[in-house]
A and B are shown apart, each in its own frame.
Chain A
Amino acid sequence: DAGVTQSPTHLIKTRGQQVTLRCSPKSGHDTVSWYQQALGQGPQFIFQYYEEEERQRGNFPDRFSGHQFPNYSSELNVNALLLGDSALYLCASSLAKGADTQYFGPGTRLTVL
């Protein structure tokens, strides 16, 4: 049973560029959450998607947007990249109902130069 997968593993961009990160949830899961983890910090919640809709959003600017596809996979898009966007981006999958355990992928390391 494949767990949560993310691509790419690493990414280097320059300020002002745009980036798209991808996530495939664990088999049977219908909900995807995205987190940003700066070096030496705990994860910060960006948003959560269920039934192709953004269900909850953390304190991140509109430069951060997402999408969920009918097969439950998800994308995170970040526009107008800033140096401060450099971080590990983690995707977590879960079930919408009856359970609140989230399972994480290995993350995408984004470096903005």
Chain B
Amino acid sequence: GNSVTQMEGPVTLSEEAFLTINCTYTATGYPSLFWYVQYPGEGLQLLLKATKADDKGSNKGFEATYRKETTSFHLEKGSVQVSDSAVYFCALSPYAGNNRKLIWGLGTSLAVNP
């Protein structure tokens, strides 16, 4: 079956620290992979995506590379800001380009202190 596993939070960092949030997946097909962010009291915002192996998604200083050999899509940012405090969700779409349901991880809460 299809599933997503994220590292457990909460993650607490100081401003300007390096961020990694691990995400691994299992999929029966060739999935697209996504990172969404949820700020307190808000809905989900698409942060970045990748649709095939070795693709790198990037946005707002965040990056993630689609690694088929390790079935991973880890989120990284070189220097976090207080405004990055949110919950981050890794998700997959089971067949790239085929619009069906998204499969979600449990989310990782990030708190950045000044």
Contact = CB atoms under 8 A, between A and B. Distances in A.
Contact of B100 (A40, A44, A56, A103): A56
B70 interface: no
A40 B49 CA distance: 23
Interface in A80-101: 88, 90, 92, 94-101
Contacts of A24: none
Interface residues of B, number: 24
Given A41-B106, A42-B89, A42-B106, A104 B44 contact: yes
Contacts of A40: 107
Contact of B43 (A44, A99, A107): A107
A103 B47 CA distance: 11
Interface of B: 32, 34, 36, 42-46, 49, 89, 93, 95-107
